[in-house]
Amino acid sequence: MNYRQLGSTGIKVSEVGFGAWQLGNARDWEGMEDNQAIRLVHEALDQGCNFFDTAPNYGGGNSESLLGKALTGRRSEAVINSKFGHHPDNTLNFDSQKIRSSVEDSLRRLKTDYLDSILLHNPPFEILNGSTDHFEVLESLKQEGKIRAYGASVDSAREMDELLRNTRSQVIEVMFNIFHQEPRQAFKKAAEKNVGLIVKVPLDSGWLSGKYDETSVFTDIRSRWDKDQLRKRAELLPVLKEMLEPEESLIQLALRYILYYQEVSTVIPGNKNLEQLIENLSASAKSISVEKAEKIEEIWEEKLQADPLGW
């Protein structure tokens, strides 16, 4: 496993992290047994993965609770990132007066006395310009030692730019993958500000595993995709598969494309079983060529930039 700096935080993170949205989460994904979830976290640590991304609403708090159980006695080996705004009861509330209690609840579920980083979880755009007191509250929690760094989880270059210009965020989590490349417009500015980038949804919610086609039927969160979105995704898969090296999977190509950008600190694919975990982590073993990365950029610019896919 290779490691990168998380911006100016002084924290070193595995370049492939552990997305814990699926951990114990039967509400948005297929269910997972608690013991299986704990084994996955232990295996990740044993493989050199130290970055774990969770949130209060993942599995109604169950993701944080299982992560806390799994990290008992191994907290010092892990870097934990959680969030604020989406609550365990599946409600949305970004009232700044609730940040402190939400952090305290996360700390309790995670069985720890500090979070390495916390992010506003896709907040309304007007919060990103620093005109509210959200970032003041986060700065206070940082000064108290309850968190080491803060920022926001967003989906676009426009949101990244707003954060970078108006707040003291040290960390930004952003959606970025082969099919959703618009945010890379703000990568250079993030690097100039020494802000660590966490990349979420790197496999397009599993589509870039290559296991699905336009006839696939989803009953989980991916059921939001309409037939046209499925068709467009399906048409691009053969093009990408032609780019694979011998013994390379589409998952590895997708993750290596993201890690091609040195501005990225870590990428956080989800994990439903041990086989997926090992394949995700193995992406760190090799790099993608400049020529191949530029070809993937061209595919997005020609096929998707003007008519983006919904995530």
The candidate with the shortest Cα–Cα distance to 150, out of 166, 172, 165, is: 172
Give the span between the Cα atoms of 107 and 114, in whole angstroms.
7
Active-site hit among 3, 58, 150, 257: 58
Does 260 qualify as catalytic in the annotation? Answer: no
The candidate with the shortest Cα–Cα distance to 259, out of 229, 233, 285, 295, is: 285
Torsion angle, alpha carbons of 215, 217, 223, 226, to 10: 20
Enter the tokens of residue 221. Answer: 């969160």
CA distances 204 to 12, 69, 132, Å, are: 26, 29, 32
Q: Which residues are catalytic?
A: 58
